[in-house]
Homo-oligomer: A and B are copies of this chain.
C-alpha cells in the first residue's frame, strides 16, 4: 500500500478511535511527516484526499481540522460506499425479489450509455433496517463488467463483492432524488398505502475510468429514511 494511503487510513482510525469532534485539530504537517517518516508531498496528498472525502477541512496557515459530522441513521449519499457500509451501526437485511439477465430498456440504455444488445443483470431487493421495511431497490448491472451474481451475494453486500472479489473500483456517482408516490406493488412491499409519498433515488455508478457499470432506482420508506449530503468546498474563482 502506498505511503499516503497508510497515512489516510491511520488518520481515519485516529479520528474514529479517539472520537474526535468537528473542529478538533489534527497534528501539523511537520509532525505527520515525522510520525509517518514521509515527505511533505506525501502528507499533503493524504490530507487532500481526506478533504475530498470530507473527513477533514484544511485552513490555510492554521492546519487541518476534523470535519466528520454524522447524524446517526442518516444515509450519506455523498459517499460511494454502499448502504451496508454507510449504515454499519445498524442491522441491515436484504431479501432478493428478482435476479435475471435481461436486455436494457431505453431508460437503462440512456443512463448507462450502452446499446440495446448488451446483457444486463436485473436485481430487485427489499431491504430492512432493524427489522423495519426500508427500501425497494432495482439495479441494472452490465454483465460485461459484473459477470456473475447470485442470491448469496445479493443478500449480503453487492458492493463488498464488487470491490473485494471482482476488484472493481467504483469511481464516482451521479444521483437524482425526488418525491414520488408509491404504486400498489411497492406499497405492499413497504407496508404502506398506494399513493403514499416516497423518496425515489436514482444512481449511476461509474468506474474510475468513467464507464458506467450500475444504474439503480431505489424507493425509500418515507418515514424510515433520511439522507446526509456533504457539500464540496466552494470553488473560489
Residues of A within 8 A of B (CB): 1, 5, 8-9, 22-23, 48-49, 52-54, 57, 59-60, 62, 65, 67, 69, 71, 74, 77-81, 113, 169-179, 197-199, 203, 206, 208-210, 222-223, 225-237
Contact = CB atoms under 8 A, between A and B. Distances in A.
Q: Which 6 pairs between the two chains have the least Cβ-Cβ distance?
A: A173-B231, A197-B197, A178-B226, A179-B222, A175-B229, A177-B227
A177 B175 contact: no
B175 A230 contact: yes
B235 A49 contact: yes
Nearest to A169: B236
A57 B172 contact: yes
Nearest to A56: B210
Interface centre among A23, A113, A174, A176 (most CB of B within 10 A): A174
B228 A172 contact: no
Given A5-B237, A9-B237, 17 more contacts: A53-B235, A54-B172, A57-B206, A62-B209, A78-B78, A78-B232, A79-B232, A169-B234, A171-B234, A174-B229, A176-B226, A177-B227, A179-B179, A179-B197, A179-B198, A179-B222, A203-B231
Given A65-B210, A199-B179, A222-B179, A8 B235 contact: yes
B174 A234 contact: no
Given A197-B222, A225-B178, A233 B5 contact: no
